[in-house]
A and B are shown apart, each in its own frame.
Chain A
């Protein structure tokens, strides 16, 4: 499974966009990029995933570079409730187990 690299922590001001980077330079052509987040003492929550194209849903946007070696999760208007650990995961197309790294601890401040 391809490995991901994320900064251990980031701060963001409330109401501003939070841009969380992820490097996955060894990703294969058929592997998906997934993002989950985990708020303290809760199970991980699915955010978004993509293969090649940029994706957007009600929670976030996912920007994947053309060479697919990195991606950015964008929370357009961060709130205090977005404070969490964010995990970027590269997932094989079949089988489906998720390999979590250390993630990025995002702190949204007033």
Chain B
């Protein structure tokens, strides 16, 4: 079946602009996770949803970052007033549940470049 998809695959924007990154999870997966990966580093947790609600947003770096999942499926990560330090690969993952034995399946990521 189809895996996790993310669009766009690449996004180039200018400092100060607003961007939206989209994630389509695997059908039927109730949990959705966002991570950010800077060059040479492991992925860093941002936020996760159980259904429509954000269950843990402790990894969001500041209030310029916001994510929604209004119908419990597709999620959008929104970044306001982008800064050069926001440049990274943004990864989305989904899982059938949030228990420790539910593996997360990752998408290919969106590479964000802020000029």
Contact = CB atoms under 8 A, between A and B. Distances in A.
Interface of A: 30-32, 34, 42-46, 49, 51, 85, 87, 91-103
Given A43-B91, A96-B102, A97-B56, A102 B42 contact: yes
B67 to A, nearest CB: 14
B20 interface: no
Contact of B56 (A31, A85, A95): A95
Interface string B55-71: 11001000000000000
Interface residues of B, number: 29
Interface in B88-110: 91, 93, 95, 97-109
Interface of B: 4, 31, 33, 35, 41-45, 48, 55-56, 59, 91, 93, 95, 97-109
A66 to B, nearest CB: 20
Nearest to B42: A100
A100 B44 contact: yes
Contacts of B55: 95
Contacts of B101: 32, 49, 51
A44 B42 CA distance: 10
Contacts of B41: 102
Given A95-B48, A96-B102, A102-B42, 19 more contacts: A42-B108, A42-B109, A43-B107, A43-B108, A45-B106, A46-B105, A51-B100, A91-B100, A93-B99, A95-B56, A96-B97, A96-B99, A96-B100, A96-B104, A97-B33, A97-B56, A98-B35, A98-B45, A100-B42
Query: Lowest 8 CB-CB distances: which A-B pairs, in order?
Result: A100-B42, A43-B106, A93-B100, A96-B98, A32-B100, A46-B103, A97-B45, A44-B106
